[in-house]
Amino acid sequence: MPEAQVQDVTLHYDVTGEGPPLVFVHGMCGRGDVWEGQVQRLSDAFTCITYDRRGHGSSSDADAPHTVPLHGDDLAALIQHLSLAPVVLVGSSGGARVALDVALRHPGLLAGAVLSEPPVFSLEPQLGREFLGRVVPAVQPRLDAGDLRGAVDAFFEVVCPGLWRQLDDAGREPYRASAAMLVADLQQPPLTVTADELAAVRVPVLAIAGRDSDPFLRATPRVIAAAVPSAQLLELPDCGHVTYAEQPDLFADAVRAFAGGLER
């Protein structure tokens, strides 16, 4: 797996296929290889780049506290290091939050962005508080006991119960392997985005939600789609939070149509 030195860390990445570039951004406790199913579906028409975010998978970490802008700057630096711009970002959950940050602060690097349920609490404060009221009581006792892998299990049981229960230990391992990042992600300051900032986004956006997802998580794509001038909303049926894994064919078809229709 090739690597790139960006900022103060080494990021491991992988490149598959040929065509316009798609850069996939994984969420909390993930790794680049969680996107394998999407890469298999899309690499016939696109250059698919996956990577491990700092502190995840095979990528290194540094002493700097984790923040969304820090991860956004990592991603922007990786795009520049690989001379990929303009790219389409495809982000899920915390990775969609990073992709949104890049769209806000580094729009010149992007041709478009696919944002699947980014947990941006400033967009739906009340639903966000209710969401944390479900997550924290499930996760905190395991963190207090030093059981990081158990905390990961508890987190995903709340956030995506249907998918998590279907996964065997091998399927859960990519998330458990980065268990320490659960603490870093939960402790980082929230990304604050206003409606005015969204209205200023000029990057085409496809906002994706799962119709069976948590009320907070499925609400944020609707807010983004309503506020960003060049955004469209897609709600996937029979689908929870991890849209790319729960409805992989519908997700890939949507990315293919969206990315294929953009001007480069």
Supply 99's token pair: 């992709």
Q: What is the mean pLDDT of residues 149-158?
A: 91
Q: Please give the tally of structural domains in the chain.
A: 1
Instruction: For tokens 């990445």, name the residue.
Output: 13
Q: 53: domain range? A: 3-124+189-260
- Is the omega angle on the peptide bond into residue 118 within 30 degrees of 0, that is, cis? no
Q: Is the pLDDT of residue 185 over 90?
A: no
Is 161 or 204 the better-scoring residue by pLDDT? 204
Q: What's the pLDDT tens digit per position in 9-53?
A: 999 999 999 999 999 999 988 899 999 999 999 999 999 999 999
Q: What is the mean pLDDT of residues 62-77?
A: 93
| Residue 23 located in a structural domain | yes
Question: 113 has which bridge partners?
Answer: 89, 205
| Residue 225 located in a structural domain | yes
| Residue 161 located in a structural domain | no
| Residue 55 located in a structural domain | yes
| Residue 102 located in a structural domain | yes
Residue type, 62: A
Q: In what order do the strands lie in the sheet with 110-116?
A: 3-6, 9-16, 47-51, 21-25, 87-92, 110-116, 205-210, 231-236
| Residue 18 located in a structural domain | yes
| Residue 139 located in a structural domain | no
| Residue 243 located in a structural domain | yes
Residue 187's pLDDT band (cuts 50, 70, 90): confident
Q: What is the mean pLDDT of residues 55-60?
A: 91
Q: Which residues of 13-44 are buried (b: 16+ CB within 10 A; e: fewer)?
A: bbbbbeebbbbbbbbbbbbbbbbbebbebbbe
Question: 232 has which bridge partners?
Answer: 206
Task: Give the pLDDT score at 173.
Answer: 85
Q: Is the pLDDT of residue 236 over 80?
A: yes
Q: What is the mean pLDDT of residues 67-88?
A: 97
Q: What is the mean pLDDT of residues 61-74?
A: 92
Residue 189's pLDDT band (cuts 50, 70, 90): confident
Q: What's the pLDDT tens digit per position in 197-215?
A: 999 999 999 999 999 999 9
Question: At 7, which CATH number?
Answer: 3.40.50.1820
* Three-state DSSP state, 122: helix
Whole-number percent of the chain with pLDDT over 90:
81
Task: Give the pLDDT score at 62.
Answer: 87
Tell me what the pLDDT averaged over the chain comes to: 94
Residue 91's pLDDT band (cuts 50, 70, 90): very high
Whole-number percent of the chain with pLDDT over 70:
100
